[in-house]
Amino acid sequence: VDLESPEEMEEEIPVVICAAAGRMGAAVAAISSIYSNTEASVLFYIVGLKTTIPHIRKWIENSKLKEIKFKVVEFNPMVLKGKIRQDASRPELLQPLNFVRFYLPLLIQKHEKVIYLDDDVIVQGDIQELYDTKLAPGHAAAFSDDCDLPSTHEMIRSVGMQNTYMGFLDYRKQAIRDLGISPSTCSFNPGVIVANMTEWKHQRITKQLEKWMQRNVEENLYSSTLGGGVATSPMLIVFHGKYSSINPMWHIRHLGWSPDARYSEQFLQEAKLLHWNGRYKPWDYPSVHTDLWENWFIPDPSGKFKLTRPDS
C-alpha cells in the first residue's frame, strides 16, 4: 500500500483577500471564482476595516457563498500611523488595506503556507496548484516576475507599463542607489503571493517592510513614481533576489491598465488567474474583458454595491 506522505494529506488552503469599501464586489467575485474551481478545502481570511465588515459578512451569508469556510479579520489601520506619505495623485493606493500583505503573520496564526490575493483578480484554475508552488529554502515568498511572459511584453509596450525597478524606485535618491540594485532589474507584482510564515517571521519581513515605509515618509524614495508602487516598492526592496517564482499563467495581469488593451481570447482561456491591476476595474466602466470577471460576480443582496455599466 502506498501511504501518502504527510505533505499530500488533505490540508486546508488559507487564502487572504481584502474587502475594501466601494470594492466589495471585487472580493466577492474573487472568492466565488476560487471556490467554484477547486475541490480543495479553502479557508478564506476576509480582511476588512471595522466599518466594512458587517456588509461583506451579510453578502456572503445571504448568497450562494454561504457554503464557504471563512474568517473575517479586522485590520486596524493604526499600525500604519506615521508610515504612509500622502500621495495626492492616486489616493486609492493609500487605502489601509493595500498594506495588509505586509502583516500576514499578524492576521494568520496556525498556517505555515498562505496565499494572498488582491481583490481585483479572478481565479480560473484550481487554487491547489498555486498553493503547491515550491518555495526555495530560505525564501519567505513567491511572486510572478514582470518579464516572464512574451504576450505581456506587447501589452507593456503598448501602454507604457513599469516592469523594472526603475519604474518604482527613485534612483536619484542615495538610499536607493546604495541598495546596489540595477534599475533595469525585473520587478514582480505582489498582487499574488504564496508565502511561508515561518520564514517570514524568522526574517522579520514585516519589520523590514515597515522600515522602508518609514524611510519613504522621511526621504520620499518611491511614492512619486509612476507605478503607484506604495505597497509594491517596499516589497521590491525587501525581497530583492530572495523570492521564488510563481508560474506566470497564475498571474496574468495588467488587464486594468487601459480601456482598450486586450489580450487574445485564447490566451485568456488558458490563464489560471486574471488580474485587473491598473485604473480600469471590471466592476466599473470602461474596462476590458469584463465578461470573464462578471461570470463570477454575485450581486449584493443589500443592493448597496452596483456594477457601473454603459447602459446603467
Q: What is the 3-state secondary structure (H, E, C) of the chain?
A: CCCCCHHHCCCCEEEEEECCCCCHHHHHHHHHHHHHCCCCCEEEEEEECCCCHHHHHHHHHCCHHHHCEEEEEECCHHHHCCCCCCCCCCHHHHCHHHHHHHHHHHHCCCCCEEEEECCCEEECCCHHHHHCCCCCCCCCEEEEECCCCHHHHHHHHHHCCCCEHHHCCCCCCHHHHCCCCCCCCECEEEEEEEEEHHHHHHCCHHHHHHHHHHHHHHHCCCCCCCCCCCCHHHHHHHCCCCCEECCHHHCECCCCCCCCCCCCHHHHHHCCEEECCCCCCCCCCCCCCHHHHHCCCCCCCCCCCCCCCCCC
Q: What is the residue type of 23?
A: R
pLDDT at 91: 60
Residue 56 and residue 19: Cα distance in Å, rounded? 7
Q: Determine the Cα–Cα distance for residues 158 and 161; give it in Å rounded to an integer.
A: 8
Predicted local distance difference test score (pLDDT) of residue 144:
93
- pLDDT tens-digit series, residues 34-65: 999 999 999 999 999 999 999 999 999 999 99
What is the per-residue pLDDT for 167?
84
Ranges of residues in the chain whose predicted pLDDT is under 50 = none
Residue 240: name the closest of 205, 284, 267 by CA: 205
Strand partners, 273: 123
The whole-angstrom separation of Cα 307 and Cα 250 is: 26
Domain boundaries of the chain, sorted by first residue: 13-295
Cα–Cα distance for residue pair 24/15, rounded to 1 Å: 16
Q: Tell me which amino acid residue 132 is.
A: D
d(CA 176, CA 237): 9
**Could you identify the residue written with the cell 521590491?**
236
CATH class of 13-295: alpha beta
Residue 144 in contact with residue 194, Cβ under 8 Å?
no
pLDDT of residue 222: 86
Alpha-carbon distance of 143 to 187, in angstroms, equals 10
CA distances, 204 to each of 208, 238, 269, 274 (Å) = 6, 10, 39, 30
Condensed to tens digits (0 to 9), the pLDDT of residues 127-185 reads 999 999 999 999 999 999 887 655 555 555 555 556 889 888 999 999 999 999 999 89
- 169, 163, 177, 166: which is closest to 221 by C-alpha? 169
